[in-house]
Amino acid sequence: MGKISFSLILALAVVTVGTTSEKKCVLSGMWKNELHSLMEIHDVNDEGEFSGEYLTSVTATSNCIRRSPLKGAQHDVERRAQPTFGFTVNWEPFSNSTTIFVGQCFLDEKGKEILETVWLLREQVDSPGEDWKATRVGTNIFTRKRNAMRGKILQDHSPPCEAPAPTALGTRPPAPRLPSPPRL
Ligand code: BTN
């Protein structure tokens, strides 16, 4: 093989390795936010779609918190290092509300992944006249929770809803509540 052909192949190999080894922010895995809520995102498919589970640490209800299903989509899985994404959490297991999150998966200067998100939480109200108070908005920042065994952590952290542990007063303490929206 001539010197030129060999150099060309070598250059191509270097470019290929450089391109494929570029670190990308991947949504799959276990995440924790600043409220100490946990979420597990399962594998992202070729279309960028994913599902998972969310275990919130807070609730606007007085119900016992349960793991809740989530579904979403991530932008351009292959091409983008810091993709945007969106997902919906259906709180049906304990609440009639729905939350949508939109955000971007960032890599910081050390290559650490951070999910910067904005959410809208819609609660069910009885009539259009109450619509004005039905939506809360906020932000959450998620960081990756390492060494998490798939499917196990959320299960282990879920509160035991069925058998309330008796306390001195005979009842369990209420779940932490979200702050109420400002009064108009
Ligand atoms: C409800 O209380 O009706 C359902 C749970 C809502 C939890 C919200 S969603 C946005 C925020 N981020 C969290 O991790 N938990 C709260």
pLDDT in tens, 156-177: 777 777 755 455 544 445 566 6
- Is residue 180 predicted with pLDDT exceeding 70? no
Cα dist. 155→50, 119, 159 in Å? 19, 24, 9
**Residue with CA closest to ligand 1 atom 6:** 59
- Residue 140 in contact with ligand 1 by CB distance below 6 A: yes
**Separation of 58 CA from ligand 1 center, angstroms?**
6
Of 111-115, 133-137, 142-146, 158-162, minimum mean pLDDT range: 158-162
Q: How far is the CA of 17 from the centre of ligand 1 (A)?
A: 42
pTM score of the predicted model: 0.78
User: So what's the pLDDT on residue 173?
Assistant: 53
DSSP 99-165: EEEEEEEEE-TTS-EEEEEEEEEE---SSGGGGGGSEEEEEEEEEEPTTPPTTTHHHHHS---SSPP
- N residues, the chain: 184
Question: What's the confidence (pLDDT) of residue 123?
Answer: 97
Rounded to an integer, the average pLDDT of 114-136 is 98
Q: Is 126 in contact with 96 (CB distance < 8 Å)?
A: no
Give the atom of ligand 1 at the shortest distance from the alpha carbon of 39.
Answer: 14
Over pLDDT 90: what percentage of the chain? 58
pLDDT, tens only, 17-28 = 444 457 888 899
Average pLDDT rounded to a whole number, residues 94-119? 95
State if residue 56 touches ligand 1 by the CB under 6 angstroms criterion. Answer: yes
| Cβ of 55 below 6 Å from ligand 1 | no
The helix (run of H) or strand (run of E) holding residue 71 is: strand 68-74
The residues that bridge with 104 in the sheet, in sequence order, are 84, 116
Cβ of residue 120 lying under 6 Å from some atom of ligand 1 = no
The residue written with tokens 């998490």 in the block is 148
Query: How many separate helices (H) and strands (E) can be counted in the chain?
Result: 2, 8
**pLDDT reported for residue 170:** 45
Q: Please give the structure tokens belonging to residue 82.
A: 């810091």
Q: Is the pLDDT of residue 9 over 70?
A: no
Residue 2 pLDDT > 70: no
| Per-residue pLDDT tens digits for 68-90 | 999 999 998 677 889 999 999 99
Q: How much is the pLDDT for 138?
A: 98
